[in-house]
Amino acid sequence: MSIIAESLGRIKPSVTIAVTTKAAELKAAGRDVIGLGAGEPDFDTPDNIKEAAIRAINEGKTKYTAVDGIPELKKAICEKFKRDNGLDYEPSQVTVGTGGKQIIYNALIATLNPGDEVLIPAPYWVSYPDMVLLGGGEPVFVPTTAANGFKMQPADLEAAITPKTKWLIFNSPSNPSGAGYSHDELKALTDVLLRHPQVWILTDDMYEHLVYDDFKFVTPAEVEPALYQRTLTMNGVSKSYAMTGWRIGYGAGPVELIKAMAKVQSQSTSNPCSISQYAAVEALNGPQDFIAERAKVFEERRDLVVGMLNQATGLSCPMPEGAFYVYPSCTGCIGKKTPEGKVIENDFDFVSALLETEGVAVVHGEAFGLSPHFRVSYATSTEALTEACERIQRFCASLS
């Protein structure tokens, strides 16, 4: 009899981490590999944030803290929500965790009962369904289409809601598609949610500041204040501040929910790293101008990648509103053969052959719940992106 819990059989390891690991293994073996699978900025953490962390170390701020965050950080988070989103929260409504992933996990563990359904628009971040399953709930996928910019339509949301629906997980801009919802698009969805008082909203706003052209970010509780009392607004410092390894995420919502999440955290990890918390205070309170400067670089990379992928035979790549991903379709390559005679039957075959043949690591669309697509992260240098896209063009041209 296995020592491993049966519940673990319901979930699978993170595919995006697996792709990054595979690319690293090939590199270590001497292969020339360009990894476009990672979901983190290639920029470094700003110096003022690093200095705040060093200062915290030197001042001995290395002890346990309150389970779900130091008062200074909770205050900074309240000020951020007011400044950026027009949302009023008290520190008692704020929780801090070891990354945004822990905030989502805590919320689901604290609220899901067996049979509860959680709506997840597809394509989705790979971890959402598995966290729902670990919490004893049932993920219910709401498909989107490239024609609609990978954005969930109100009628599809309405059709997916049942008496068992407890949460909608809402991610804008989206990982993996980069799709961002405008105010009017989001209002059409919140109008649906107003009719279903049993449905809570869990927002993943991690890519809030990575938006392009004239797109304006909005979050559900901002668009529809009537949903404020059943919304957990989640965000973090990982993407906008290039602090992925520091592991600080946060959320704000009703006190009853926040207390329940703190209870879960008190019996798992306890407090997030004390040094990271003081660094996050500086991130939120310090200079913000570098964010827009870096977003401009990401926008230029996005335009480069979309343009080059749309020149590749068999690919079609929509222009995303935000994040640092594109989610092209490889429909035109399905059914074709590689020069070695291997038939490309699905998007997993496509990305596997691309990695083997040209040394470009991307993530297949099946992992995100919508095929045949693949995700490209453009959070790397322009030189690497140009070379990678040339290799993808060459690979697609070689199929017959």
**Beta carbons within 8 Å of 236's beta carbon, 6+ residues apart:** 99, 100, 103, 206, 248, 249, 250
Q: Are 373 and 330 in contact (CB under 8 A)?
A: yes
Q: How confident is the model over 313-328, as pLDDT tens digits? A: 999 999 999 999 999 9
**Beta carbons within 8 Å of 313's beta carbon, 6+ residues apart:** 332, 333, 393, 396, 397, 399
The residue written with tokens 């598609």 in the block is 177
**Beta carbons within 8 Å of 297's beta carbon, 6+ residues apart:** none
Q: How confident is the model over 67-103, as pLDDT tens digits? A: 999 999 999 999 999 999 999 999 999 999 999 999 9
Longest dimension (CA), the chain: 64
> What token pair was written down for 158?
């309405």
Amino acid 175: pLDDT: 97
Type of residue found at 119? L
| pLDDT of the chain, 400 residues: tens digit per residue | 899 998 888 888 877 777 777 888 888 999 999 999 888 899 999 999 999 999 999 999 999 999 999 999 999 999 999 999 999 999 999 999 999 999 999 999 999 999 999 999 999 999 999 999 999 999 999 999 999 999 999 999 999 999 999 999 999 999 999 999 999 999 999 999 999 999 999 999 999 999 999 999 999 999 999 999 999 999 999 999 999 999 999 999 999 999 999 999 999 999 999 999 999 999 999 999 999 999 999 999 999 999 999 999 999 999 999 999 999 999 999 999 999 999 999 999 999 999 999 999 999 999 999 999 999 999 999 999 999 999 999 999 999 9
Rounded Cα gap, residues 147 and 265, in angstroms: 41
Q: Are 193 and 226 in contact (CB under 8 A)?
A: no
Q: In Å, what is the CA distance from 322 to each residue of 72, 153, 170?
A: 30, 19, 15
